Structure 1
Amino acid sequence: MVEVAAAAGWPACGIWFDGASWTDATTREVRRRLDDTGIVALDIEPIIPADGADDHAERLVAAAAEIGARNILFTSRVKDQAFNTRRYGECCDMAAPHGITVVCEFLPIFPLNTLS
């Protein structure tokens, strides 16, 4: 994606984090490609809490800090609004020391799909 964005003349791109396959080597490779092309990592995504599943938030925040991502996208498969509010706050607290903003992405396919 980084090379495609550079070839198209874009100044920035989003990065997809797959918790099942992302490794420290992936972080290094993405950072190298960003450096080589001058592309900025606008965001990295997603943190998606789900009942009984690891949302990989800690690893995603660490990767975001390493690659210089400015934003992290957060949505949720959990219907419990109190849980979502708490987890969102935890993710914001993890990201804040790195100067990263966690933003809610409202998707119609998930319970967290509106501001209300």
Structure 2
Amino acid sequence: MKQIQRNRGIGALILLLGVLAWTAVSAIELGEGAPLGLFEAQGTMRYLDLPANIVQIDDKRYRLAQNTIWYGLNAGASLMQQLLQAVNGEVAYIVDAKQKVPTVNAIWILPSEGK
């Protein structure tokens, strides 16, 4: 009986984590061809936590804006796979200086040949 309850608890936790990941990925807004000159800085994306809205670029952590626009992603491919592949890759980004906490409004995942 305890084993069944434990399995149900683990199953519920896995389902909850799956829903959180799906919600975060489904909310991603893809941008269309913005000029690189609009982006303030470039760096290496070291960490990405979509459910918590956190991104680490180089050695600094930023909050992701609710309506963060992602450039350089292919709409036809798996978004989650593309984002995981982008970790430790070069990105360009725009920081909203009006926020109390440093917040990124847009991220352009640069192609590997553009390093």
Give the TM-score of the pair, scaled to structure 1: 0.24
Greater relative CO (CA pairs within 8 A, separation 6+): 2
Give the TM-score of the pair, scaled to structure 2: 0.24
If you compute each CA radius of gyration, which structure gives the higher value, 1 or 2?
2
Give the structure with the larger helix fraction.
1
Give the structure with the larger strand fraction.
2
